[in-house]
Amino acid sequence: MDISLNKYISETGYCSRREADRLIEAGRVLLNNEIAVTGNRYKEGDEVVVDGSIVKPANKEKMVILAFNKPVGITTTTDEKIRGNIISYLNYPKRIFPIGRLDKDSEGLIFLTNNGDIVNKILRAGNQHEKEYQVRVDKNIDGSFLRNMSEGVRIDGVTTLPCRVKQTGKHSFNIILVQGLNRQIRKMCETLGYKVTALQRIRIMSITLGKIAIGKWRYLSEPETESLLTSVSSSVSEVKGKTYKKSLDQGSKKTDLLDKKIDKTQKSNPTAPKKTKTDPTPKTDPKKTKVSSYREFRKRGRKK
């Protein structure tokens, strides 16, 4: 066996590969009694110690994925020293890791699993799959706001990818993203002069929040798990003629192969038809997308 150290740690079930990278960078991992560094490789017989404990491959456990309705105030972190962390809140009997993030001030759907390797696979696929949110802001929404949100907003030095936005009330809207920048919706709204007062994620890919009460969770069914794993099995994915790499690190970059080909054609042939804007996100059947009580969502927004 000769694999990267972070992959070895992940496959033992200790943590995700991304978390293993952070542990290595922090100097908390020893490889054969020496402080490990990024890029180290594990070979059969090597000793790996994390925070003073020897890390060994665990017996294969049946993979579980939880769908959790995270409350406001809970932090998405595996660091149990942080007050209000998601791991201590759930108090699940086995070691689990959150898949992705949902900021402390937001609530709604987030997945957790006991399989560290699948966390990395799903995160790599983050930019191809829809995540749907209900959002409430502090003042009346107008057409200009909806148009700017859907076309893309400049935040943190990048322009967000086009998305689908639908007004659901004077102060509220529904938004579907295929991107996961840090506090993306809040920053988009702030750039346009609005402040988010309530934000709830109601869907990730084909999995909806449904009737899961705030602070409660359920297991994904076998068909749901199979569907989730199948959807992240390939390395690239096409969305309405646009191809995005499956990597969180490239979540802010547009990789539009079709547009590049058209641009190249137009330079060599000025009479070639010009490219037209297309919606980069696939349409979904609204009948198949269940949302939690909108009335309750508005009440929570008013209370805040």
Which tokens sit at 270?
Answer: 């000025």
On whether both 138 and 237 belong to a single domain, the answer is yes
On whether both 165 and 42 belong to a single domain, the answer is no
On whether both 97 and 183 belong to a single domain, the answer is yes
Active-site annotation holder among 21, 51, 103, 256: 103
Which residues contact residue 52 at a Cβ distance below 8 angstroms, ignoring those fewer than 6 apart?
none
Rounded to whole angstroms, the Cα distance separating 86 from 79 reads 9
pLDDT for position 59: 52
Which residues contact residue 33 at a Cβ distance below 8 angstroms, ignoring those fewer than 6 apart?
47, 49
Residue 45: domain span? 2-54
Q: What is the CATH number of the domain that holds 185?
A: 3.30.2350.10
On whether both 89 and 152 belong to a single domain, the answer is yes
On whether both 85 and 33 belong to a single domain, the answer is no
Question: Coil, helix or strand for 163?
Answer: coil
On whether both 282 and 249 belong to a single domain, the answer is yes
Closest CA relative to residue 134, chosen from 79, 197, 77? 197
Taking a C-beta distance cutoff of 8 angstroms, is the pair 44, 1 a contact?
Answer: yes
On whether both 104 and 47 belong to a single domain, the answer is no
pLDDT for position 70: 98
Whether residue 105 lies in the annotated active site: no
Tens digits of residue pLDDT in 273-292: 444 444 444 444 444 444 44
Taking a C-beta distance cutoff of 8 angstroms, is the pair 31, 40 a contact?
Answer: yes
Total structural domains within the chain:
2
On whether both 46 and 81 belong to a single domain, the answer is no
Q: What is the CATH number of the domain that holds 7?
A: 3.10.290.10
pLDDT for position 127: 59
Intervals of the chain under pLDDT 50: 235-292, 304
On whether both 76 and 103 belong to a single domain, the answer is yes
Which 3-state string (H, E, C) describes 213-278? Answer: CCCCEEECCHHHHHHHHHHCCCCEEEECCEEEECCHHHCCCCCCHHHHHHHHHHHHCCCCCCCCCC
Tens digits of residue pLDDT in 191-244: 999 999 999 999 998 999 999 999 999 999 988 988 887 777 653 333 333 333
